[in-house]
Structure 1
Amino acid sequence: MTGLLDGKTILLVEDEYLIAIGAKSMLQRLGAGAVKMAHRLEDGLLLAETEAVDAAVLDVNLDGRRSLPIASCLHERNVPYVFATGYSRSDLDLAGEPMLLDKPYTLDKLEDSLRRAMDRPQ
């Protein structure tokens, strides 16, 4: 299947195992060549700092800690990312206009959010 992410490497940071497995499957259906997964803030930050990734999907809340350091690292590396969250935009108090993907999400919503994030100037 060809898609938005054909052959691309995607960073997925999600602390809920079942959500992570579902999201990985969706990313693969969109054509991702590789999905680098992390379930904790520290692991996600290490991958963001050291791995060559084309885009990322970040859970905002990782076991009570915000994924903002990962987002900052990706921003510095000009890597587009999407925050996946069950919180409303007003509850998050995030700087700028980050791309938000409301949980629970579908394949179509994930694809649309990633497309918009990847089309934005970095």
Structure 2
Amino acid sequence: MADLAGLRVLVVEDEGSVALLIESMLEELGCHVTASVATLAKALNAARVDSFDFALLDINLDGELVFPVAELLKSRQLPFVFSTGYGRMGVPEEFKECDVLNKPFTIEELSTKLQSMFGKSDGAVFD
């Protein structure tokens, strides 16, 4: 299994209490939250300029969809996981290969998803 300790993460989540819970889970797994943002504009800025190893993206940010951030991350070859209550049905076709965590999720589900994402044998983020 891949070691998650020290991985830097961008959290994009518009619900404050959910963001705090996710941050706490990530920290318990040994990750370092480099930024936690709640709006599309701030997420786009962070995706452009911040340094991190992966991102956890809520799909719906107060009515705005996070897919422009996902496109930017994909172009930078940075891995990400969608975090959503909509399930895979809320993910457009162009992101069908991307990882999805269904809200609410447990720390075990988060850990499993991240271990799977970083434990790929060829190291590829996107197939």
Shift of 1:121: 1.0
The corresponding residue for 1:51 is: 50
Give the gaps of 5 or more residues in structure 1: none
Change (3 A) 1:82 1:62: same
Give runs of aligned pairs for residues 28-107 of structure 1, distance below 5 A. Answer: 28-95=27-94, 96-107=96-107
- The percentage of aligned residue pairs carrying the same residue is 35
Structure 1 runs, 4 residues or longer, greater than 4 Å off: none
TM-score (norm 2): 0.86
The corresponding residue for 1:10 is: 9
- The DSSP-based 3-state class of the residue aligned with 1:82 is strand
- What letter matches 2:44 in structure 1? L
* 1:23 and 2:27 aligned: no
The corresponding residue for 1:121 is: 124
CA distance in 1: counterparts of 2:18 and 2:112, whole angstroms: 18
1:51-105, CA deviations, whole angstroms, 9 ceiling, x for partnerless residues? 1110110001101111011111111111110000000322433413211000001
- State whether residues 10 and 54 of structure 1, in contact with CA within 8 Å, keep that contact through their aligned partners in structure 2: yes
Give the gaps of 5 or more residues in structure 2: none
CA distance in 1: counterparts of 2:46 and 2:115, whole angstroms: 22
CA distance in 2: counterparts of 1:65 and 1:22, whole angstroms: 22
Say what the alpha-carbon RMSD is for the aligned residues.
1.6
CA distance in 1: counterparts of 2:90 and 2:8, whole angstroms: 30
CA distance in 2: counterparts of 1:56 and 1:99, whole angstroms: 11
- State whether residues 4 and 115 of structure 2, in contact with CA within 8 Å, keep that contact through their aligned partners in structure 1: no
CA distance in 2: counterparts of 1:75 and 1:92, whole angstroms: 15
CA distance in 2: counterparts of 1:116 and 1:74, whole angstroms: 19
- What letter matches 1:73 in structure 2? L
CA distance in 1: counterparts of 2:32 and 2:88, whole angstroms: 31
Shift of 1:113: 1.5
TM-score (norm 1): 0.89
- What letter matches 2:29 in structure 1? L
